[in-house]
Structure 1
Amino acid sequence: MRSVPLHRRLVLSLACALVIAPQATLAQSADAKRIVAIGGTVTEIIYALGEGDRIVAVDTTSSYPAEATQKPNIGYVRQVSAEGVLSQKPDLIIAEAGAGPVDAMNILKASGLTLISIPSPPDTSAIPAKIRAVGEAIGRKDKADELALKVEATLKATAEKTASTTTKKKVLFALSLANGRVMAGGSQSSADAIIRLAGGENAVSSVSGYKPLTDEAVIAAAPDVVLVMSGGAMQMTAEQAFALPALASSPAARNKAFVTMDGLYLLGLGPRAAEAAAELHGKLYPEATKP
């Protein structure tokens, strides 16, 4: 039997994400007027579909659009307060896959409320299906189809543009620094997906997911650019990064190549992913984008 390519499996899993929910549940969720959105990308998609006024609470990763930050907050996406969610008296909870902790999610499931999980695989090709899954969950399938087609076109255009990059720069995405070690984004991570879409090469694609690196691994990676998130508790400066002995001798340190971008914009893999990749491409290859 012929195997199905990874990106196709990801898209198919997203397209089928809501099949496990009974049709009665989907019908009820379509009419929901009090939605708790858990996950910045889920929140962003709901707003992009013009339904932000139905959201009554969000998590701390829901930083876009700005008005979402004015909603009551129920905690970090992986440390959600079940009591906080229930206090909002929602009639629908939409959460990105991986939301937690498990005990809190089990309490929410046992409450009898409609809870729909949206798979969020680290692949840009899965974004249109993610949009459609959220749209179906809130009863806005037509709007979601329209947005998904638009996003799909911008992703394709961006990929075609960045594919023309001949000499790819090696990019090290540093999520955080802890005890002098770099927590980096390897393959099968949203950081890897956006770096590749931007025409870069992941300097640590040999590791999978987000992993702390040994000094030897950082030295061997020899990144041309260090990429980090701006803002938040894990924000780091160029001075902090390049003060690490393992990075001090890297091409990135020599050229002071240090790029910061908003975390949700960069890693959310939502409706703005193509724009984020295009912006990152410009930061990686400024010489190629000059008039």
Structure 2
Amino acid sequence: MRSGYFRILPALLTALCGALLSSPAPAADPQRVVSLGGPITEIVYALGAGDRLVGADASSIYPAAAEKLPKVGYYRGFAVEGVIGLQPQLVLASDQAGPPAAMAQLQKLGIPVVVLSAEPTLEGLEQRLEGVAKALGLGNAGHEQVARIRAEVSRLTQTRSKQSVLLLSAHSGKLQAAGEGTAADALLRLTGARNLFADKGYKPLSAEAAAALQPEVIVTTTLSVEANGGIKGFLAQPGIAVTPAARNGRLVVMDDLLLLGFGPRLPEALRELQAGLAARP
């Protein structure tokens, strides 16, 4: 296993907090675990260790059991008091969890913290799977998941799409597009389809810009559709309504964590996206 598979708090955290923070070593077989990041929580369940979770952040919405866990806020701004109150033996955190001062406080209190890369690549997913398995003392469970995912993705990517696609979210009434470096873009690239949004990361998208891109297909999340009153309301939004995708009913709606998580359900996400891109109204 490469040394980068997991690390105890990134150097960036030390720099921002202005002090060298040393995390105590996790217990060999931790039974009280808090997860900060929906994809990390999903990995714990995929490895068969969901019964060890005593809490998670608000983005942990899959599987159904995760929604019943005590929540400590959103992982990018979690409540330290909420984590402490759950008396964890280990905190598993995305490297996007924070703020840094909150992460540092956990360490000062002697709570072991393992930070895992959120990179939306197959290599990054392997690091998360094997890092979580190692932290939980699960032996080869991570390797087995990695082998399964690699084999399924290799088979699925034999079929390629050539369609032009716009990846959108609209939870708060404002359009955001997903560009290079996002999990949604990484998933789309596996299909062979072209992402029309050329910028990096998630960025606001004006109605004029959406209309000018003229996507053949729009891909979005379940929560985005629900926030706009359903598919009809989503497609009627200014800028979207005049696109070929809206005129032809070419909208692919996916579970939020499935589209945005790049987690252990990656083959399922890829199959669902491929089917949506291939479908004709």
Output the TM-score relative to the length of structure 1.
0.83
Question: Kindly tell me: are residues 13 and 41 of structure 1, through their superposed partners in 2, closer, same or farther at Cα, counting changes over 3 Å?
Answer: farther
Alignment of 1:117-196 (within 5 A): 117-160=115-158, 162-163=159-160, 165=161, 168-176=162-170, 178=172, 181-196=174-189
2: CA distance, partners of 1:244 / 1:233: 11
Alignment-derived partner of residue 261 in structure 2: 268
SS in 2 for 1:248: coil
State the Cα deviation string for residues 100-150 of structure 1 (Å, max 9, x = none): 233322322222210111111122342122211111111123111111111
Question: Kindly tell me: are residues 228 and 245 of structure 1, through their superposed partners in 2, closer, same or farther at Cα, counting changes over 3 Å?
Answer: same
* 1:211 and 2:209 correspond: no
- Which of 72, 94, 105 is the aligned partner of 1:74? 72
2: CA distance, partners of 1:105 / 1:115: 8
Alignment-derived partner of residue 6 in structure 1: none
Measure how far apart 1:182 and its partner are.
Answer: 1.7
SS in 2 for 1:131: helix
CA contact (8 A) 1:199 1:281 kept: no
Alignment-derived partner of residue 15 in structure 1: 5
Aligned residues: 270
Q: Which ranges of structure 2 fall in alignment gaps of 5 or more residues?
A: 12-20
One-letter amino acid of the structure 1 residue matched with residue 113 of structure 2: L
One-letter amino acid of the structure 1 residue matched with residue 192 of structure 2: G
2: CA distance, partners of 1:253 / 1:91: 50
Question: Kindly tell me: are residues 285 and 240 of structure 1, through their superposed partners in 2, closer, same or farther at Cα, counting changes over 3 Å?
Answer: same
One-letter amino acid of the structure 1 residue matched with residue 69 of structure 2: K
Alignment-derived partner of residue 254 in structure 1: 247
Which region of structure 1 is more displaced relative to structure 2, 240-249 or 254-263? 240-249
2: CA distance, partners of 1:250 / 1:14: 43
Measure how far apart 1:14 and its partner are.
Answer: 4.6
Q: Which ranges of structure 1 fall in alignment gaps of 5 or more residues?
A: 1-10
State the Cα deviation string for residues 200-225 of structure 1 (Å, max 9, x = none): 22121x10000012334322321111
Measure how far apart 1:240 and its partner are.
Answer: 3.3
Question: Kindly tell me: are residues 249 and 182 of structure 1, through their superposed partners in 2, closer, same or farther at Cα, counting changes over 3 Å?
Answer: same
Output the TM-score relative to the length of structure 2.
0.86
Measure how far apart 1:99 and its partner are.
Answer: 1.1
Question: Kindly tell me: are residues 230 and 271 of structure 1, through their superposed partners in 2, closer, same or farther at Cα, counting changes over 3 Å?
Answer: same
Aligned sequence identity (%): 35
2: CA distance, partners of 1:84 / 1:125: 32
2: CA distance, partners of 1:248 / 1:20: 44
State the Cα deviation string for residues 28-68 of structure 1 (Å, max 9, x = none): 34321110011111111111111111111111211222112
One-letter amino acid of the structure 2 residue matched with residue 281 of structure 1: Q
One-letter amino acid of the structure 1 residue matched with residue 180 of structure 2: S
Measure how far apart 1:89 and its partner are.
Answer: 0.6
One-letter amino acid of the structure 1 residue matched with residue 38 of structure 2: G
CA contact (8 A) 1:30 1:136 kept: no
Question: Kindly tell me: are residues 104 and 141 of structure 1, through their superposed partners in 2, closer, same or farther at Cα, counting changes over 3 Å?
Answer: same
Alignment of 1:91-106 (within 5 A): 91-106=89-104
Measure how far apart 1:19 and its partner are.
Answer: 10
1: CA distance, partners of 2:268 / 2:4: 22
CA contact (8 A) 1:127 1:269 kept: yes
